[in-house]
Structure 1
Amino acid sequence: MRRWGAWILLVGAALIWLLHTVRLKLRQTPQGTPCPGPGAVELPDGTFTFRLDPAAFRAEFPQLQSYRCRELIPGDGVCTGPPGPPLLLLAVKSHPASSARRATARRTWARPGVLGGYRVRAVFLVGVSPEPRDMALLEEESQEFGDVVLWDIGESHHNLSLKERCFLRWVGARCGQADFIFKGDDDEFVNPPALVAYLHQTPNAAHVIHGNIQCHAVVFRGGKYRVSSALFPQDTYPDFPAGGGFLLPRVTVPALAAASERIPVFPLDDVYLGFLVLAAGLRYRHDDRFQVYGMKDELCLYGEAFVVHGVLLDRAEEVWRGLYEERRCNGMGPFPS
């Protein structure tokens, strides 16, 4: 009986080991799908190999694959001017209807100026709206402030990836002198003084992408961020910076733009950037101060953060005044003009 018991235990252990091996293998390869067809892109990251089949992307999101970036407002004056301090460009995704958000940003964190040895300048990245009034107001803003780039992209959740791709082209053509680019949204509080201090304090800041890095995030099969198994059969994504806010050094832009010419346009903009980063062979630096998922609503915590996502307009103005005009937290000074 003892021999039978030992034999059963040995067989059980072998079966457990075999099951674990099979599960691990399944995680690293697409499940229940044929081998990718001709032209498929394979991107290994050292843990997984991610496969993108252009045919699947053309079938499910043809408009993302066929669109060619066409500027209606080129924003060609955003980065012009005489030589001066290095440029920190705040590139902000916005909607034509969000004029109040852009106005708040221009009064607070997106105002142009020189800060800590950097020239700070904002540009708002916008698609088209079917509302004529929104488009007329946007045209007026562009004429007054000169800080708008408008593409003939319809505003939608999936089309944010096209803004990512078109922005990389725009930077290469019209703003190649930007030393660092902060990418974010217009419903945020952004902290340029903290960003500039971070750039001064971080060794080799110009050689990595900075953000709140999501490591092998799970693929959602339902809801707003749904991705079908036919489009992307694997159950995890490559690492990517959360889209609420991250920093790109100038040296990364040409490699990302080149990758965007051969990688299918993924329908989630932050994941799409992750694929581009992997294809370009670039590296990340994670920092929790990119508070892209919100934080406790305390004034001095805003002073430590680089970006806080989802901040109401009135609150963004209150925070800016408290930090940089009334100086209600230690170490906070005025934003230079």
Structure 2
Amino acid sequence: MVKMRRQLFVLIFVVFTMSCIFLITSIFSTYGNRIFKPRDFMIQLPQTRPLPITKESVNLTDGVHTYYLNLSRFQEEIPFLQDYQCSLTLTPSGRFQDRPSLLILAIKSHPASGARRTALRQTWATEREVKGFWVKPIFLMAQDANPRRMELVKLESREFGDILQWDFTESHHNLSLKERCFLEWLHHHLPQVEFIFKGDDDEYVNPYAVVQYIKHHGSSPFILHGNLQRHSAVMRQYKYRVSENLYPHPVYPYFLSGGGFLFPGRSVKLLYEESQRIPVFPLDDVYFGFLGLAANLTYRHDSRFHVSGLAFKACRYQRALVVHGINPEQMVKIHNEAQNALCK
């Protein structure tokens, strides 16, 4: 009799335990995802989003000329430049975001220009400290139709961590997208950047001279620095042609030659906001000039931005900020001689 009671008690206990397990399992399956999702126990950080693109026709004046950019004509002739949403495929790596005095060397490059990037990394485009500034080179790139080149770019990115690439295709007009999308990236990812140098991958740059220049002339957040082009005539033929339908004016506003210029980090927000508003012009340096005009920024010209080449003399290159038009074979020799020259 006692044995039967024990067996009955065990049976009841087993049934009760199984019922409890079944009940708990049912509760979890019904409400578990709602109650126990890990994200509900995490602090939700605010996500920084790009400003909505609200482009419009604009009238801009520099006190001498008035420039009307008609959005409907830009959308008719170059719709992709107006509609493109910046989408990254590769981003630079490293802890440079934490550096308090950060100088970005932003270098426009093409996936096919691997030899140029190699020469630059062997010379002036290396991440380092220069006279109190942390210098970080970043190559600005888009896409190429050659899949082998794209794979090599990925390998470069993994090895050097210095490539910022978007998913649009490389072309002359699309260089303006590098301007707009780079401003967007700076605004959202490097709000603390002190100065930005913009240039090309076929030039010699002297980071020591650039830092010294910033210390002497870089106190204002509203001044852009470079080789100033004053009311350049609009070309209607050849590589830099712009149609009268798109832009009927005979001259451009002031702009800095795209071969190499400097702008302060505190101007980025103003430039970025205007890039979301005014039409994207199909010439990148002129486009940046329109952004500067719309943002009410001013310019400082300096002849040491040699955007059309310079005959080589070591001491002249040592004092130069940038010299445009240097091929990869010359770069290492020129850099070494200029760095080692004893100049007064």
Q: What is the rounded CA distance, in whole Å, between the counterparts of 2:273 and 2:60 in structure 1?
A: 15
Deviation per CA, 1:205-251: give whole Å up to 9, x if none: 54411000101000000010000000000000000000000001011
The residue aligned with 1:54 is 71
Alignment correspondent of 2:234: 219
Which ranges in structure 2 are unaligned for 5 or more consecutive residues?
Answer: 1-54
After superposition, give the CA deviation of every residue in 1:166-206 in whole Å (9 maximum; x if it has no partner). Answer: 00001112222210000001011111111111112226354
Whole-angstrom distance in 1 between the partners of 2:68 and 2:155? 44
Match of 1:251 among 248, 263, 266: 266
1:180 pairs with 2:187: no
Is structure 2 residue 316 aligned with structure 1 residue 315? no
Shift of 1:304: 1.4
- CA-CA distance at 1:74 after TM superposition: 2.7
CA distance in 2, matches of 1:119, 1:241: 25
Higher Rg: 2
- Paired amino acid for 2:309: G
Q: CA deviation at 1:39?
A: 4.8
Give the CA deviation at 1:328: 2.1
Indicate the SS of the match to 1:51.
strand
Q: Is the 8 A contact 2:124 2:335 kept in 1?
A: yes
Q: How many residues align?
A: 290
Question: Mapping of 1:164-203 within 5 angstroms?
Answer: 164-202=179-217
* Separation in 2, partners of 1:220, 1:199: 33
Q: Is contact 1:85–1:117 with CA below 8 Å preserved after alignment?
A: no
What residue in structure 1 maps to residue 84 of structure 2? Answer: 67
8 Å contact from structure 2 (residues 223, 299) kept in 1: yes
Q: Is the 8 A contact 2:88 2:165 kept in 1?
A: yes
Partner of 2:282, secondary structure, is coil
**Alpha-carbon shift at residue 287 of structure 1 (Å):** 0.3
Alignment of 1:329 with 2:342, yes or no, is yes
* Rounded Cα–Cα distance in structure 1 between residues aligned with 2:218 and 2:78: 41
Kept in 2: contact 1:168–1:253 (CA 8 A): yes
1:83 Cα shift? 4.2
Kept in 2, the 8 Å contact 1:265–1:272? The answer is yes
Q: Is 1:134 aligned to 2:141, yes or no?
A: no
- The alpha-carbon deviation at position 267 of structure 1 amounts to 0.3
Secondary structure of 1:167's match? Answer: helix
Match for 2:75: what amino acid?
R
Describe the SS at the equivalent of 1:150: strand
Query: Given the superposition, is the C-alpha separation of residues 222 and 258 from structure 1 closer, same or farther in structure 2, using an over 3 Å criterion?
Result: same
In the superposition, relative to structure 1, how do residues 53 and 101 fare at CA in structure 2: closer, same or farther (>3 Å)?
A: same
Q: Could you list the runs of 5+ residues in structure 1 that have no partner in the other structure?
A: 1-37, 332-337
In the aligned structure 2, how far is the partner of 1:105 from the partner of 1:99? Answer: 10
* C-alpha distance after superposition, 1:80-107 (max 9, x if no partner): 3484450111000000011111111111
SS at match of 2:270: helix
Q: Which residue of 1 aligns with 2:15?
A: none
Q: What's 2:293 paired with?
A: 278
Alpha-carbon RMSD across the aligned residues, in angstroms, is 1.5
1:206–1:116: structure 2 CA closer, same or farther, 3 Å change rule? farther
The 1:81/1:93 distance shift into structure 2, 3 A limit, reads: closer
Q: 1:298 offset after TM fit, Å?
A: 2.0
Matched residues in 1 for 2:101 and 2:118: separation? 25
- Structure 2 distance, partners of 1:282, 1:209, is 7
- Which TM-score applies when normalising by structure 2? 0.82
The structural deviation recorded for 1:299 is 2.1
Q: Contact 1:240/1:271 (CA < 8 Å) preserved in 2? A: yes
Query: What CA distance in whole angstroms lies between the structure 1 residues aligned with 2:163 and 2:140?
Result: 6
Match of 2:246 in 1: 231
User: CA separation of 1:203/1:131 partners in 2, compared to 1, >3 Å: closer, same or farther?
Assistant: closer
Counterpart of 2:164, as a letter, is: V
Query: Which SS does the other structure have where 1:178 is aligned?
Result: coil
Q: Alignment partner for residue 42 of structure 1, among 39, 47, 59?
A: 59
Partner secondary structure for residue 194 of structure 2: strand
The change in CA–CA distance for 1:125 and 1:203 in structure 2 (over 3 A counts) is closer
> TM (normalized to structure 1)?
0.83
Q: How many percent of aligned residue pairs carry the same amino acid?
A: 47
| CA displacement 1:263-300 (0-9 Å, x = unmatched) | 10000000000000000011111101000011222222
Alpha carbons of 1:71 and 1:224: their partners in 2 closer, same or farther (altered >3 Å)?
same
Letter in 2 for 1:311: I
Q: Distance in 2 between matches of 1:206 and 1:73?
A: 29
